[in-house]
Amino acid sequence: MLAGHFIRPRIVENDKDIAYECGEKPVGDARVQFNFRFYLVAIVFVIFDVEVAFMFPVAAVFRSWVEQGRGALALAEVLIFVAILFVGLIYVWSKGDLRWNAGRMKGET
């Protein structure tokens, strides 16, 4: 490393000191406020993504539960789980938080 320090060229350029953004020169300030709807939609997506992750193991063993006589109980539990998440989706949807342009529709900029 010491030899590399002495051998490598020392070309001073201003572009070497700026932030790298996918090969493009940065424009504006890095501290940009995102619309809160982005975070809300991301959280709703994660919730339903986790729902799918919870449903896969149930689907994988559901046939054995039916053979053991526990199929109706397992189905009822799954339906209650999906119903709770569905009520949450209806709530978020009714508040208008899933529309990207909801602020513009209400006269905000």
Which CATH number does the domain housing residue 20 bear?
A: 1.20.58
Range of the domain at 21: 2-105
pLDDT tens, 40-63?
Answer: 778 888 888 888 888 888 888 888
For residue 16, give the amino acid letter: K
Please state the rounded mean pLDDT for residues 21-44: 75
User: Of residues 95 and 27, which shows the higher confidence score?
Assistant: 95
User: Quick one: pLDDT at residue 109?
Assistant: 46
User: Is the pLDDT at 105 greater than 60, yes or no?
Assistant: no
Domain count within the chain: 1
Whether the CB-CB separation of 40 and 97 falls below 8 Å is answered with yes
Please state the rounded mean pLDDT for residues 7-33: 75
Structure tokens at 71: 């199929």
CA angle 48, 52, 58 (to 5 degrees): 140
